[in-house]
């Protein structure tokens, strides 16, 4: 803001009016400006701290989620390895036992694929309106076909209405330009064949297989009916509705990829071994994730000396109870009872708390000693991942962070504790800005007022000096006249 103070010395008084007004205004402004500057610095520091803490908590939750992944389990007590992953892959849970299995895949599970009679007019052939009913495994899936529908719009209606149920449709057009509606299902296994009814021209009996070169009016299953997967495990016959075979071997899930090649077929060897080394790596990753979060919280909470080592520099949350509450909530899960079992606390695995820093430390020698006991790898998996989606240590640690990042279920709040705190701080920013604007206005008005007063004083002093000079001149002239007589 431009100052209304005119620089220079007053013509009448000879005083530096600009300097006087500036000094008086600054004396009035300084206390409030100091307060505003302090509030701005503190508020900005806290806003930055909220952002840093949210990022740290999000990274911590991501680490917990990654460690508890079901598709790539970090805490698998046992590791299952397939000698021929092109035939099948395998994963294990905490109920598995060490062993080796010879698996021959005779046939993969297949789903139902059916085709309608052909339409000479191609994809734009007219289809009557009504309700198309796709039946499978005793369940009817209805699709509304509106007026003026075509084979193409019917396909689109099926995909829109039943895509979530694993049913999809497409159009196959032959060399003559005739088209058939082909419907697929992601459900596999014998007996899952589909039938279609309700719309003239689209009746399909999927329990009947079409000929290799079907007549234009023929419809039915394409190539073959839906089948179960067929395999042998150590010579014992097993069938499965799905290509994901669970329960055939206790604690082991096999994902079938292709039939075993050769005559006789070459078996895939599945080996199950204790995952001691992998568990050690995962526990260290868990410890590192916790320590990284705690280090961030400590940095945001502890005051530090300045460069000269004399003054104390406040951190974003110095003296604030929120960080202490956060760490207490997370640490509470380290000792809380979870999924149960012989392995109940982390100290049994060599995970301890450093009494000086409060960080976790991992004693790998103690871990190795514990793992030498039979069945402990499965117990480690149960401790961290639990027996359901909520009672494992990883899930409980992640949930402990939720109140700080998310609003409670059923709450009218728009965010967690950190977002609520950020809203308050943003309101403080607006309030501080308004205070600064008010102070600037006061300074401008005071400057204008004082300048006017001192200029008026200067003018008055100038007039008084002029009057005094006139009087002095008058008397000097009078004295000179008297002396001349």
Q: What is the pLDDT of residues 181-202, one digit of tens each?
A: 999 999 999 999 999 999 999 9
Residues 122 and 206 in one domain: yes
119 and 267 housed in the same domain: no
- Torsion over CA of 273, 279, 282 and 288, rounded to 10 degrees? -160
Query: Is 116 part of a structural domain of the chain?
Result: yes
Same domain for 116 and 245, yes or no, is no
Kindly state whether residues 137 and 212 are assigned to the same domain: yes
Residue 191 and residue 143 share a domain: yes
- Whether residues 121 and 214 share a domain: the answer is yes
Q: Mean pLDDT lowest for which of 158-162, 183-187, 305-309, 351-355?
A: 305-309
Last residue of a domain, one of 221, 238, 262: 221
Give CA–CA dist 211/218, Å, rounded.
8
Residue at 177 is within a domain? yes
**Pair (124, 210) in one structural domain:** yes
Which of 86-90, 324-328, 395-399, 400-404 holds the top average pLDDT? 86-90
Does 40 map to a domain? no
| Rounded Cα distance, 466 and 460, in Å | 10
Q: Specify whether the backbone of 165 is left (phi greater than 0), alpha (psi in -120 to 50) or beta.
A: alpha
350 in any annotated domain: no
pLDDT bin (cut points 50, 70, 90) of residue 1 is: very low
Percent of all residues in the chain with a pLDDT value above 90, rounded to a whole number:
60
For residue 190, being part of any structural domain is answered with yes
Q: Can you give the pLDDT at residue 329?
A: 92
Lowest average pLDDT, out of 1-5, 107-111, 240-244, 432-436, goes to 1-5
- 83 plus 123 within the same structural domain: no
Whose tokens are 């979870």? That residue is: 338
Residues spanned by the domain of 90: 78-108+228-274
Alpha-carbon distances of 463 from 120, 178, 454, 459, rounded to whole Å? 113, 112, 14, 6
Look at residue 156 in the predicted model and tell me its pLDDT. 97
Mean residue pLDDT of the chain comes to 89
Domain boundary among 221, 237, 252: 221
* Buried-exposed string 18-31: b where 16+ CB fall within 10 A, e elsewhere: beebbeebeebbee
Shared domain for 115 and 263, answered yes or no, is: no
Q: Is 353 left (phi over 0), alpha (psi -120 to 50) or beta?
A: beta
Of the candidates 341, 345, 303, the one whose C-alpha atom is nearest the C-alpha of residue 320 is 303
Where is the domain boundary, 201, 221, 241?
221
Do 97 and 125 sit in the same domain of this protein?
A: no
Residue 165 pLDDT:
95
- Give CA–CA dist 101/150, Å, rounded: 53
Q: pTM (2 decimals)?
A: 0.66
pLDDT value of position 73:
82
Q: Report if residue 95 sits inside a domain.
A: yes
Count of beta carbons in the 10 Å neighbourhood of residue 398: 21
On whether both 121 and 216 belong to a single domain, the answer is: yes
Q: Is residue 115 a contact partner of residue 172, using CB atoms and an 8 Å limit? A: yes
Residue 459 located in a structural domain: no
In this predicted structure, the answer to whether residue 9 has a pLDDT above a threshold of 60 is: no
Assign 3 a pLDDT band (cuts: 50, 70, 90). Answer: very low
Higher pLDDT, 5 or 251: 251
Do 236 and 164 lie in one domain? The reply is: no
Number of domains in the chain: 2
**pLDDT at residue number 19:** 85
428 belongs to a structural domain: no
Across 44-60, average pLDDT: 92
């Amino acid at each position: 803001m431009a100052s209304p103070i005119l620089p220079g010395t007053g013509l009448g008084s000879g005083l530096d009016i600009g300097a006087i007004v500036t000094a008086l205004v600054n004396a009035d402004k300084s206390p409030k400006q100091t307060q505003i500057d302090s509030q701005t610095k503190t508020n900005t520091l806290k806003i930055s701290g909220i952002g840093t803490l949210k990022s740290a908590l999000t990274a911590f939750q991501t680490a917990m989620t990654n460690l508890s992944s079901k598709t790539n389990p970090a805490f698998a007590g046992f590791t299952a390895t397939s000698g021929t992953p092109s035939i099948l892959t395998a994963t294990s849970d905490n109920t598995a036992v060490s062993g080796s299995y010879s698996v021959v895949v005779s046939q993969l599970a297949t789903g139902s694929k059916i085709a309608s009679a052909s339409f000479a007019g191609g994809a734009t052939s007219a289809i009557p309106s009504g309700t198309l009913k796709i039946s499978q495994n005793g369940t009817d899936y209805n699709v509304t076909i509106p007026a003026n529908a075509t084979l193409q719009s019917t396909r689109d209606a099926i995909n829109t209405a039943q895509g979530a149920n694993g049913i999809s449709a497409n159009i196959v057009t032959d060399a003559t330009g005739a088209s058939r509606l082909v419907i697929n299902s992601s459900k596999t296994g014998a007996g899952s064949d589909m039938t279609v009814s309700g719309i003239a021209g689209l009746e399909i009996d999927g329990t009947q297989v079409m000929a290799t070169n079907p007549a234009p009016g023929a419809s039915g299953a394409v190539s073959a009916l839906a089948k179960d997967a067929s395999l042998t495990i150590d010579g014992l016959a097993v069938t499965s509705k799905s290509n994901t075979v669970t329960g055939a071997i206790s604690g082991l899930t096999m994902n079938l990829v292709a039939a075993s090649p050769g005559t006789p077929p070459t078996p895939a060897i599945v080996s199950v071994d204790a995952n001691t080394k992998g568990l050690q790596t995962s526990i260290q990753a868990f410890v590192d994730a916790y320590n990284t979060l705690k280090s961030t919280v400590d940095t945001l909470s502890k005051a530090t000396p300045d460069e000269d080592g004399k003054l104390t520099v406040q951190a974003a949350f110095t003296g604030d109870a929120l960080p202490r509450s956060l760490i207490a909530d997370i640490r509470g899960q380290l000792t809380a009872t979870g999924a149960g079992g012989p392995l109940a606390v982390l100290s049994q695995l060599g995970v301890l708390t450093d009494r000086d820093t409060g960080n976790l430390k991992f004693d790998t020698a103690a871990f190795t000693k514990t793992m030498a006991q039979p069945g402990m790898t499965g117990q480690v998996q149960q401790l961290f991942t639990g027996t359901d989606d909520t009672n494992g240590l990883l899930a409980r640690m992640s949930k402990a962070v939720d109140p700080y990042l998310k609003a409670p279920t059923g709450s009218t709040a728009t965010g967690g504790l950190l977002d609520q705190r950020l809203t308050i701080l943003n309101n403080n920013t607006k309030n501080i800005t308004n205070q600064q604007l008010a102070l600037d206005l006061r300074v401008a008005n005071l400057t204008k007022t004082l300048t006017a007063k001192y200029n008026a004083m200067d003018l008055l002093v100038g007039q008084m000096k002029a009057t005094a000079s006139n009087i002095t001149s008058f008397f000097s002239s009078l004295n000179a006249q008297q002396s001349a007589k």
